[in-house]
Amino acid sequence: MGKLVVSEFVSVDGVIEDPGGAEGFERGGWAFKFERGPEGDKFKLDEVMASDALLLGRVTYQAFAEAWPSQTDEVGFAGKMNSMPKFVVSTTLPEGNWSNSTVIKGNVAEEVSKLKQRPGGDILVNGSAQLVQTLTQHGLVDEYRLMVFPVVLGKGKRLFQDGLDMTALRLVEAKPVGECVILTYHLAGKPAEGAKQD
């Protein structure tokens, strides 16, 4: 496939936990308190339409699997979410109950490396804090897309936890959308596919 893209809603202090408010986090639902504007909506639509697969941790997968099958819209976002292949990393789920789902139970780094070798477009990761930590530790993330919301939450699961190796990133784009800003990063020294070289 193409790049492995981690796309997150994130607070200014780096929290990614429960932006939609469906997971029971006491400070959840924070992303809905701010306007991301039409450009932010278009960014998320384009991102999903350009992706060939979703890779999710169990908690995010179950939240999405509960919400998305009943959704419809005129632009095709829900249709794409429901139809594209989904890979969920879990040692407890016997099978995925959302259309086109495959459960990854074994060595995550090895299985995701194999997944990245398949032909096709981007693999999109949303939420999935624990999975993102694993992917980051094994150098499997090609691109981070962070929609930063103007809020300090003060607690919650963070995108980058203490103890990670120091990793240099290269800012590819900074784009204001509504009250937010989208920051796109690649690993420093690793050019994006199709990106022109300096």
pLDDT in tens, 129-146: 999 999 999 999 999 999
Asked whether residue 20 is assigned to any structural domain, the reply reads yes
Asked whether residue 127 is assigned to any structural domain, the reply reads yes
Which pLDDT band holds residue 161 (cuts at 50, 70, 90)?
Answer: confident
CA separation (Å) from 190 to 75, 124, 152, 171?
A: 33, 18, 31, 12
- For the chain, count helices (H), then strands (E): 5, 8
Using the predicted structure, report yes or no on whether residue 196 has a pLDDT greater than 80: no
Structure confidence at residue 148 (pLDDT): 98
Q: Quote the number of domains for the chain.
A: 1
Using the predicted structure, report yes or no on whether residue 105 has a pLDDT greater than 90: yes
The percentage of residues in the chain with a pLDDT greater than 90, rounded to a whole number, is 84
pLDDT digits (tens, 9 = 90+) for 31-66: 999 999 999 999 999 999 999 999 999 999 998 999
Asked whether residue 197 is assigned to any structural domain, the reply reads no
What is the mean pLDDT of the segment spanning 97-126?
A: 94
Q: Residue 96 is part of a domain; what is its CATH number? A: 3.40.430.10
What is the mean pLDDT of the segment spanning 76-87?
A: 96
Asked whether residue 192 is assigned to any structural domain, the reply reads no
Using the predicted structure, report yes or no on whether residue 193 has a pLDDT greater than 60: no
Q: Give the number of other CB atoms < 10 A from CB of residue 5.
A: 21
Structure confidence at residue 194 (pLDDT): 46
Q: How far apart are CA 25 and CA 6, in angstroms?
A: 21
Q: Collect all residues with Cβ–Cβ distance below 8 Å to 79 and sequence separation of at least 6.
A: 72, 73
Please check whether residue 169 is in contact with residue 186, taking contact to mean a CB–CB distance below 8 angstroms. yes
Structure confidence at residue 189 (pLDDT): 64
Which pLDDT band holds residue 13 (cuts at 50, 70, 90)?
Answer: very high
What is the mean pLDDT of the segment spanning 164-168?
A: 87
Asked whether residue 178 is assigned to any structural domain, the reply reads yes
Question: In which domain, by residue range, is 106 found?
Answer: 4-187
Kindly state the helix (H) or strand (E) to which residue 126 belongs, with its residue range. Answer: strand 122-126
Using the predicted structure, report yes or no on whether residue 195 has a pLDDT greater than 70: no
Give the residue from 175, 135, 169, 149 showing the smallest Cα distance to 17.
149
Please check whether residue 103 is in contact with residue 93, taking contact to mean a CB–CB distance below 8 angstroms. yes
Q: Give the number of other CB atoms < 10 A from CB of residue 74.
A: 6
Using the predicted structure, report yes or no on whether residue 125 has a pLDDT greater than 90: yes
